[in-house]
Amino acid sequence: MPSRLFQHDVLDQQVAIVTGGGTGIGAAITRELVAMGARVVIASRRPEHYARAAAGLSAELGVEVVGLPLDIRDRASVDSFVAAVIARFGRIDLLVNNGGGQFLAPAETIRPKGWDTVIQTNLTGTWNLTRAVFDAWMGENGGRVVNITMLTSRGFPGMAHSVAARAGVEAMSRTLAVEWAPRRVLVNCVSPGIILSSGMRNYPEGAEVARAMQSEIPLKRLGTVTEVAELVAFLASPGGAYITGQTLVVDGGRSLWGNTWPLPDDEDPAPVVIPSEPWEENEPG
């Protein structure tokens, strides 16, 4: 599948890691990078996730997508994973920290274990893998890191744990962009708004909530995983060579708009159909 924006060889022979690369935004990023000529490694804690996704993407794209085990919270697992990528490909040019996890809950109901798990996954896990890739390759050879976060400029009710972690990732990225600039390592964040992806299936009433949110977005529609993936691809391309330490928002204007400037809803709003990957369609539940 060719890229809509980039030449097929713009990332020729480059090696990219995409955590959470088998579903939703991660799978779309994987598709885009492969279409640009990159060799892509996806990772997950569970073999049934990364193995099925890697096989499905490889069959779809006609190019091998490698799947490897990885628990970003476990530094030994991170070190083993990075060593395996270097042993197989000899380099790591791009790291996309897309993997993470959270749950929707009012702040007063979040228990210590739930808070700690979300922080360890989304903040500490991002640090673990970023530092390991820097130590193993990018510190001496340069490279690019793109961290997928969330809308952090305003409050995010129901996600106090995750928005705190993602804001930490953005601050960390700004700091690393300065410290690692002499090493030719560019570090940026992409902050998606409400994106129509398979991840919405993880939340009760996901389609109904997504449909209601459309009216809160100035463009009056949800974003697509491809729109996020193409921005990540731009940051990985030669066009992104002078961008570092930035958080780029893909949200249809949602973070700019409050209730003080009403906008009319569409008379015929777009239907909401939550997509799924081919290898997810036959899963129970």
User: What's the total number of domains in the chain?
Assistant: 1
DSSP state of 84: H
Q: For position 68, which CATH number holds?
A: 3.40.50.720
pLDDT at 265: 80
What angle separates helix 24-35 from helix 225-236, to the nearest 10 degrees?
50
- Output the average pLDDT for the chain: 90
Least confident segment among 1-10, 88-97, 128-137, 159-168 = 1-10
pLDDT at 17: 98
Q: Which helix (H) or strand (E) holds 43?
A: strand 39-44
Instruction: From 199, 247, 240, select the one nearest 222 (Cα to Cα).
Output: 199
Report d(CA 30, CA 163) in Å as an integer.
25
pLDDT at 100: 84
Residue at 179 is within a domain:
yes
Residue at 198 is within a domain:
yes
Mean pLDDT, to the nearest integer, of 240-252?
A: 97
Q: Is the pLDDT of residue 261 over 70?
A: no
Domain residues for the domain of 39 are 15-252+265-273
215 pLDDT band, cuts 50/70/90, is confident
Mean pLDDT, to the nearest integer, of 39-67?
A: 93
Residue with tokens 């050879």: 141
183 pLDDT band, cuts 50/70/90, is very high
Full-model pTM: 0.89
Residue at 234 is within a domain:
yes
Burial bucket for residue 255 (CB in 10 Å: 0-12, 13-18, 19+): middle
pLDDT at 205: 64
Residue with tokens 């500490």: 124
283 pLDDT band, cuts 50/70/90, is low
Report d(CA 209, CA 212) in Å as an integer.
5
CB 132 within 8 A of CB 85: no
Residue at 151 is within a domain:
yes
Alpha-carbon distances of 266 from 56, 139, 215, 218, rounded to whole Å:
37, 50, 8, 11
Question: Dmax of the chain from CA atoms?
Answer: 56
Mean pLDDT, to the nearest integer, of 76-85?
A: 98
DSSP-derived 3-state class of residue 282: coil
Q: Report the amino acid identity of residue 127.
A: W
Mean pLDDT, to the nearest integer, of 20-46?
A: 94
Residue at 124 is within a domain:
yes
Residue at 32 is within a domain:
yes
Top mean-pLDDT range of 70-74, 111-115, 205-209, 263-267: 70-74
162 pLDDT band, cuts 50/70/90, is confident
Report d(CA 169, CA 174) in Å as an integer.
9
* Cβ neighbour number for residue 178 with a 10 Å cutoff: 11
CB 29 within 8 A of CB 96: yes
Residue at 280 is within a domain:
no
pLDDT at 88: 97
Residue at 282 is within a domain:
no
Pairing, β 94-97 against β 15-19: parallel
Least confident segment among 45-49, 96-100, 205-209, 241-245 = 205-209
Dihedral (CA of 137, 142, 130, 6) sign? negative
pLDDT at 202: 65
